[in-house]
Amino acid sequence: MRHPTAVVVSCLKKWFVGSEYEKVHVATKVPANIHGPVVRVDSAPPNRETPITDRTRIMLQAYGDDDQACVDLLAACLDGLEMAYRADLAVMAWETDTEPYNFPDPDRPGVVRWQAAGTLWTTLS
């Protein structure tokens, strides 16, 4: 069983292929030096809902040049997660519950960061 953040990273990378976001760095950790847009995938601990499914709160953080670039990037991420069941058989469903909002990074005051979030349901097989 892969961790839900690994599933999300994989799904987003597949979703971005052939799009304007194909070269976006998608990972669970932000590089020390940010060059270009970055999406950081974070999560709360998975919650076992049934013997074969987990429910996990996923947070997406977009780093970019300006507010609109971050909002657009997060919108693309949320669209991709709505279709994630097509990219990975472990994905059962995605539900966005927090639309993009400004989320300054205290460690990088000169960088623009926005966040969005939702719930991912995955199978354990």
Instruction: For the chain, list the domains and their CATH numbers.
Output: 4-123 (3.30.2000.30)
Q: What average pLDDT does range 89-100 have in this prediction?
A: 96
Q: What is the pLDDT of residue 109?
A: 86
pTM: 0.94
Whether residue 45 has pLDDT greater than 80: yes
E strand or H helix at 101: strand 91-102
Q: What is the pLDDT of residue 100?
A: 98
Phi/psi for 11 (5° steps) reads -65, -45
Whether residue 83 has pLDDT greater than 90: yes
